[in-house]
């Protein structure tokens, strides 16, 4: 009985001990969970998501990589609001920021005849003065445009050798682009023949210094011209080419000499290309121009081996026949001549029979097209109307033509060809009659006259008589092709709205996804080279204000350097750091701080065009909203500043 009592007593003690242990564990777990939850809550409120907590009883171990010492101190202060200081075990490591990296030096030499442009970022030890001295006197008088910027970083390995090689190569390459990087030279040049191309490549390789890589792209471009065409006019306005093609440089010189002998006074050039119907192209053109001069005026048109000559209506029939006969006898066998002597105008006071049929099309500078005249039947009228709408837009065409079954054969082809020719002009008029097609107007691209000549010659045939009075206005070309400064900024903002340029904490390196963003910005700026923009760098409010200002300046300059390495003209770009003074979001939240850490492009507006000194005023009508824009303005020399190693991004 005593043994049984002892057993139950021992069992009771064991149960009591186990219960106490279980209760103690439950209490300890509750304390650890409560402590951890309270700590995580305060860290979340402060945006300190880089901290890792481990709770063991009343001890709390804190670890993680703090971007700065101030961030570490801020984390400990926050934790001490909910945990006793003697319970915190501090294992936080402070990550040292990357040192600011030196810029990537580059030099670009552009030479076109007597003009040389210098673009790039070079060390001060190289200096623009030494480069200007090296190219002085190349082939006599040389016009040099200096757009070089310098910085006080030392020259990297291979830089001096590459620069010397590039400057020496420039002397023998009158049409070239030479890009220099440390230890590498890239040469793009134009030669006149394959033999010259091979010679240049051999000479460059022989002159290349050891340790300098050479990338050469030497070409001898000759466009394919089809049909191979030429048109020369001699009238009261003078002698001039509407289009000119030559198969060799010697042929070009010979053709131009013949045109000058016929009275041409301007400096029109001939396009050298492939597609001549015979090696005797220059012989035929020379003879035809001489015949035109002997006729006393008119026009001569070549379309491959077909020659059309229109003589002045004042010329006598016998003289006309003799000149054309002599030309036909002298031409190489492959060429054929169709010559037209227009009827003489009626004598004053006599009745003049008017043209029975005509078709008139006008195109205004705004693109509005009006058609009046006659078509043979409804099907032809519909075809012409639809063709015009396809070329000019349905909303721009106003058709008032009428049906006339007496229209002669070949009428639709002449009208459709004339409308297509008119579509190549910015504005003008087309007149089609039974005996003539006349096109007048203004072109917004230089090659339009050649295109129209080829079109009319190809589709109308050698027996057709047409006149063309087309002027080229360069101002229309620029207005049509170049975007406005506002459009340039919008282009960049659209790119940056999709993805901002992110930098690692306290770093100025452009890497990862940021490289693709800068590539897109460079592509968008190809025709915005002369738009003044500012690249503005911005940070959040963490860290010292002076440190943030230095870091933002360095990041803006990093974007400028990246664009320069992508061969974007940076003359009109300025990099400027604003630090933390221009937030676009609340710095109390992580999302707001991320939005404030940004690069921003802003259009520079100078209200006083005559004011070239001082800092230009900036206007920001179109800045990127997603935090990674860039602004530009005309910058002096670019220098890279070291940020504070304790800086906060």
DSSP state letters, 587-603: TTSHHHHHHHSEEEEEE
Neighbours of 431 (CB within 10 A): 18
**Band of residue 268 on the pLDDT scale cut at 50, 70, 90:** confident
**Band of residue 490 on the pLDDT scale cut at 50, 70, 90:** confident
Q: Write out pLDDT tens, residues 557-573.
A: 999 999 988 888 888 89
User: What pLDDT is recorded for position 97?
Assistant: 52
**Mean pLDDT value of segment 304-322:** 89
**Band of residue 302 on the pLDDT scale cut at 50, 70, 90:** very high
Inter-axis angle of helices 513-524 and 545-565, nearest 10? 60
Strands (E), 237-356: 238-243, 245-246, 271-272, 298-303, 306-310, 336-340
Whether residue 297 has pLDDT greater than 90:
yes
**Band of residue 185 on the pLDDT scale cut at 50, 70, 90:** very high
User: What element of type H or E holds 318?
Assistant: helix 317-330
Residue 456 Cα distances to 14, 231, 419, angstroms:
114, 11, 11
Which three-class secondary structure state does DSSP give residue 199?
A: helix
Q: Which residue has the higher pLDDT, 361 or 76?
A: 361
Q: How far apart are CA 76 and CA 538, in angstroms?
A: 28
Whether residue 444 has pLDDT greater than 60:
yes
User: What pLDDT is recorded for position 213?
Assistant: 92
Alpha-carbon dihedral angle through residues 462, 389, 364, 448, given to the nearest 10 degrees: -40
Q: Write out pLDDT tens, residues 158-171.
A: 899 999 999 888 88
**Band of residue 646 on the pLDDT scale cut at 50, 70, 90:** very low
Q: Which residue has the higher pLDDT, 372 or 479?
A: 372
User: What pLDDT is recorded for position 31?
Assistant: 63
Q: Write out pLDDT tens, residues 612-640.
A: 444 434 434 344 333 333 333 333 333 33
User: What pLDDT is recorded for position 9?
Assistant: 57
Q: How far apart are CA 649 and CA 644, in angstroms?
A: 11
Whether residue 589 has pLDDT greater than 60:
yes
**Mean pLDDT value of segment 390-411:** 85
User: What pLDDT is recorded for position 220?
Assistant: 67
Q: Which residue has the higher pLDDT, 597 or 27?
A: 597
Q: Which of 41-55, 223-237, 340-354, 455-469 shows the lowest mean pLDDT across its residues?
A: 340-354
The phi-psi region of residue 11 (left if phi > 0; otherwise alpha if psi is between -120 and 50; otherwise beta) is alpha
Whether residue 355 has pLDDT greater than 80:
no
What share of the chain has pLDDT > 90, as a percent?
22
User: What pLDDT is recorded for position 567?
Assistant: 84
Whether residue 305 has pLDDT greater than 60:
yes
Q: Write out pLDDT tens, residues 200-243.
A: 888 999 999 998 999 988 876 677 787 889 999 999 889 999 88
- Average pLDDT in the chain: 79
Which three-class secondary structure state does DSSP give residue 70?
A: helix
Give the chain's radius of gyration (CA, Å): 39
**Mean pLDDT value of segment 366-376:** 87
Q: How far apart are CA 452 and CA 441, in angstroms?
A: 12
Whether residue 466 has pLDDT greater than 50:
yes
What share of the chain has pLDDT > 70, as a percent?
82
H helices within 404-447, ranges in order? 411-423
Which three-class secondary structure state does DSSP give residue 265?
A: coil
């Amino acid at each position: 009985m005593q043994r049984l009592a002892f057993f139950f007593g021992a069992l009771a003690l064991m149960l009591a001990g186990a219960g106490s242990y279980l209760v103690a564990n439950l209490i300890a777990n509750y304390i650890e969970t409560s402590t951890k939850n309270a700590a995580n809550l305060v860290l979340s409120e402060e945006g300190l998501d880089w901290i890792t907590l481990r709770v063991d009883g009343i001890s709390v171990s804190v670890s993680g990589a703090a971007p700065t010492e101030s961030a570490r101190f801020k984390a400990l202060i926050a934790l001490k609001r909910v945990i006793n200081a003697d319970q915190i075990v501090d294992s936080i490591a402070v990550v040292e920021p990357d040192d600011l990296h030196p810029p990537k030096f580059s030099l670009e030499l552009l030479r076109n005849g007597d003009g040389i442009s210098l673009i790039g970022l070079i060390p001060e030890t190289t200096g623009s003065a030494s480069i200007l001295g090296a190219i002085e006197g190349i082939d006599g008088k040389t016009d040099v445009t200096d757009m070089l910027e310098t910085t006080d970083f030392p020259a990297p390995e291979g830089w001096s050798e590459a620069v010397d090689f590039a400057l020496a190569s420039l002397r023998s390459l009158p049409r070239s682009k030479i890009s220099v990087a440390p230890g590498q030279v890239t040469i793009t040049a134009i030669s006149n023949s394959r033999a010259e191309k091979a010679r240049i490549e051999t000479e460059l390789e022989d002159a290349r210094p050891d340790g300098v890589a050479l990338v050469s792209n030497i070409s001898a471009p000759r466009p394919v011209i089809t049909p191979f065409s030429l048109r020369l006019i001699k009238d009261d306005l003078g002698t001039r080419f509407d289009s000119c093609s030559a198969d060799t440089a010697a042929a070009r010189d010979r053709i131009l000499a013949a045109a000058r002998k016929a009275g041409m006074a301007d400096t029109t050039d001939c396009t050298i290309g492939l597609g001549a119907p015979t090696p005797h192209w220059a012989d035929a053109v020379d003879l035809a121009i001489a015949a035109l001069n002997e006729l006393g005026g008119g026009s001569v048109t070549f379309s491959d081996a077909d020659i059309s000559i229109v003589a002045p209506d004042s010329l006598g029939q016998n003289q006309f026949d003799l000149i054309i006969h002599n030309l036909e006898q002298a031409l190489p066998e492959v060429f054929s001549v169709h010559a037209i002597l227009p009827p003489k105008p009626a004598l004053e006071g006599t009745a003049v029979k008017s043209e029975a049929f005509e078709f008139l099309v006008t195109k205004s500078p705004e693109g509005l097209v009006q058609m009046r005249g006659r078509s043979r039947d409804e099907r032809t009228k519909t075809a012409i109307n639809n063709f015009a709408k396809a070329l000019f837009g349905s909303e721009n065409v106003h058709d008032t033509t009428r049906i006339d079954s007496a229209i002669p054969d070949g009428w639709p082809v002449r009208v459709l060809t004339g409308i297509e020719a008119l579509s190549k002009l910015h504005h003008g008029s087309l007149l089609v009659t039974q005996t003539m097609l006349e096109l007048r107007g203004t072109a917004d691209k230089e090659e339009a006259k050649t295109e129209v000549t080829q079109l009319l010659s190809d589709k109308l045939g050698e027996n057709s008589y047409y006149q063309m009075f087309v002027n080229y206005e360069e101002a229309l070309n620029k207005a049509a092709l170049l975007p406005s400064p506002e459009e340039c900024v919008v282009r960049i903002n659209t790119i940056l709205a999709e993805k901002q340029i992110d930098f690692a904490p306290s770093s100025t390196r452009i890497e990862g996804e940021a490289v693709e963003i800068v590539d897109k910005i460079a592509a968008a700026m190809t025709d915005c080279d002369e738009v003044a923009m500012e690249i503005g760098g911005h940070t959040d409010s963490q860290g010292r204000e002076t440190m943030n200002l230095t870091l933002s300046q360095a990041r803006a300059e990093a974007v400028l350097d990246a664009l320069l390495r992508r061969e974007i003209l940076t003359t009109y770009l300025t990099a400027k750091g604003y630090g933390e003074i221009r937030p676009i979001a609340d710095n109390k939240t992580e999302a707001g701080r991320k939005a404030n850490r940004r690069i921003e492009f802003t259009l520079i507006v100078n209200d006083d065009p005559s004011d070239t000194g001082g800092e230009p005023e900036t206007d920001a009508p179109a800045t990127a909203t997603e935090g990674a824009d860039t602004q530009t303005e005309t910058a002096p020399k670019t220098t890279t500043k070291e940020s504070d190693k304790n800086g906060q991004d």
